A and B are shown apart, each in its own frame.
Chain A
Amino acid sequence: MAALQEYKCPCCGGAIEFNSEVQKMKCPFCDTEFEMEALKSFDEDLKLDASDEMNWDTKPGSEWSSGESDGIQSYVCKSCGGEIIGDENTAATSCPYCGNPIVMMGQVSGMLKPDFVIPFKLNKESAVMHFNNHLKGKKLLPKVFKEQNHIEEVKGVYVPYWLFDADVNARMRYKGNKVSTWSDSKYIYERTDHYSITRGGRVSFDNVPVDGSSKMDDTLMESLEPFDFTDAVSFQTAYLAGYMADKYDVSADDSINRANTRVKNSTVALFGNTVRGYSGVTTESSSIALSNGKAKYALYPVWVLNTTWKEKQYIFAMNGQTGKLVGDLPMDKSLATSYFFKAAGLAAGIVFLIQFLLWFI
């Protein structure tokens, strides 16, 4: 005698039985009928549901060999507590985070050697030009902001990043439906076909960046992306000359969560895009498994400008490789209000005129 197999109803979750009248599997609770094959396939899919497995092998960076870190000086800002490093040729006098003076502390210590660096592709003039462009055409920008900016004080800083590589194996299960409607003289009909949809496969990610400095706002840094790793080179101390670098204070282990979230979101989106032709889709379960998860430590180039205006701090950052510039600008409230009224008045006038003409003709 074969073992009794109990199947769950995909519609309401109750136990399904074979109904001899209709010669199909039928759920006694919700009255829905199913083909045997469909139930078996669905059941198999359910069994394969698993939870995420996202583990990394994090040993980024390396130890300095002797003498390598001799030329690197460490500075500290008494005002905001920021720690910067620069090489002996860097004339670092003010803090890139808050603009206040910094003090040299002596030789750098307690820091791993970076694996890679993307050198600065764009120089200070370019940064100034990009910044001026950023201010153009912003109708609500207060007029005096531009003048009070001290753009010349923009600083080139290497920001520490943890870069994550991984091969991802994913399995997603969805519920989808297709709706069709038609009508005759008496009724409007609506038929909903329900499907169980499975997608599985793999995708690989390289160099997903997570900002390793708590002083540089993570959202600001993410807005600067993408950085193109093809320009990266093995780290040499000489690259620091003339620029400041930020010392990391967030460990790789602590940055993993952000990397996981981003990898998972993209994986879900990629597979989700392959589900087409349905009126509605909901995700039932997803399992993401990482393998070969590696982390690297790199320095990425960023031009930073700090401005204080009307008691508020504004920080602007430009990607030193691509030139992308981001930074939220202040708003002139009275200008905003006056534009609101101008637009509202114009629209109201036009609409009234149209109504009047329609009445006339």
Chain B
Amino acid sequence: MKKILSALSILFLVSLMPLASYASPKLLVDEADLLTDEQEMTVLKELETVSADTGMDVAVLTVESIGDKSPMEYADDYFDYNGYGQGPDRSGVILLIAMESRDWYISTRGRAIDCLSDSQISEIGSGMNLSSGDYEGAFLFYAGDVKYDYELMLYTEEQNALNGGRGPFNPVPKIVISLIVGLIAGLIYRGVLKGQLKSVRANGGAMDYTRKDSFEVSEQRDIFLYSTTSKTAKPEPSSSSSSSSHTSTHTSSSGATHGGGGGKF
């Protein structure tokens, strides 16, 4: 009996091992060595807390150089091929810092795409203030902002669910429109009634007095003179959208859909 029990427990423990290999990868990878050990611990702790609270991996990656790849490709690929992302959507966001080319890039996947719009990503970029050299502050700002945007997304979704997806009922613009339409309708109706009272009108022509069948067009010439052609260029569809809720997405090399944005510092 003891032997069976211990065999079973060993089997059980062994079966847990594959699960261990599916554990989340490191949320902070500082290859460019921008942080001291102490700073690393602070940032890592913050990233782990936010990741747990939001249900998506919030990660930071610093490298010396990204070589020939674009920051977008590098960040997307690092995220996809290193097992980042929680849940079946692999929801998560990674901040890439490339020191040689002084690029920063944020790549999102899964729920994080909805959570972080293009303009929000852009705001994180400027808010981090990477040029100051305070990388610890920048990364903590990044984590904090992601958490804030996540909570904002939850709140908006809640509001939409309450209103059946229409946004809150705002009577003010409706009242203004009603009043304007009412004003116009009233003026038109009054104008019509006033018109009923008037019947005296001059007769500017003599159409009633034309002799029957006397109208004859004996000369009729339509001569083509010349032609002018003008062309106007069609307006470019705007490539950058300024609406705060828009997120542009693309497909990465692994076939996954990513959102994101970046810049220089």
Contacts and interface: CB of A to CB of B under 8 A. Distances in A.
Given A205-B210, A340-B189, A187 B219 contact: no
A138 interface: yes
Contact of A266 (B175, B206, B221, B233): B206
Interface string B197-225: 11111111111111100111111111111
A348 B181 contact: yes
A46 to B, nearest CB: 11
Nearest to A207: B209
A328 B197 contact: yes
B225 A203 contact: no
Contacts of B2: none
Contacts of B228: 32, 191-192, 194
Nearest to A227: B208
A38 B226 CA distance: 9
Interface in A19-59: 32-35, 38, 41-42, 45
B166 interface: yes
Given A183-B234, A326-B199, A348-B181, A194 B204 contact: no
A339 B186 CA distance: 8
Given A188-B234, A271-B217, A194 B226 contact: yes
B210 A203 contact: yes
Contacts of A326: 199-200
A38 B225 contact: yes
Interface in B160-191: 166, 169, 174-175, 177-179, 181-190
At the interface, is chain B mostly helix, strand, loop or mixed?
A: mixed
Nearest to A40: B223
A188 B231 contact: yes
A344 B186 CA distance: 4
Interface of A: 10-11, 32-35, 38, 41-42, 45, 134, 137-141, 167, 171, 176, 183, 185-209, 217-220, 222-223, 225-226, 259, 261-263, 265-266, 269-271, 274, 325-331, 336, 339-349, 351-352, 355-356, 359
A182 B235 CA distance: 15
A188 B229 CA distance: 11
A348 B226 contact: no
A316 B131 CA distance: 89
B221 A45 contact: yes
Interface string B78-100: 00000000000000000000000
A198 B220 contact: yes
Contacts of B194: 140, 331, 336
Contacts of B6: none
Contact of A208 (B179, B185, B206, B227): B206
25 contacts: A45-B223, A138-B197, A189-B229, A193-B226, A193-B227, A194-B227, A198-B223, A202-B214, A202-B218, A205-B211, A206-B211, A207-B209, A222-B203, A223-B203, A262-B205, A263-B206, A265-B206, A274-B220, A329-B198, A331-B194, A336-B193, A344-B187, A349-B182, A352-B174, A359-B166
Contacts of B193: 139-140, 336, 339
B114 to A, nearest CB: 25
Given A223-B201, A327-B200, 10 more contacts: A11-B226, A187-B231, A194-B227, A197-B222, A198-B220, A200-B217, A266-B206, A328-B197, A345-B182, A348-B178
A335 to B, nearest CB: 9
A340 B187 contact: yes
A140 B218 CA distance: 51
Given A192-B227, A265-B204, A201 B186 contact: no
B164 to A, nearest CB: 9
B240 interface: no
A356 B205 contact: no
A89 to B, nearest CB: 32
A113 B220 CA distance: 45
B196 interface: yes
B230 interface: yes
Contact of A226 (B208, B221, B223): B208
A205 B210 CA distance: 4
Nearest to A194: B225
B244 interface: no
B172 to A, nearest CB: 12
A49 B222 CA distance: 16
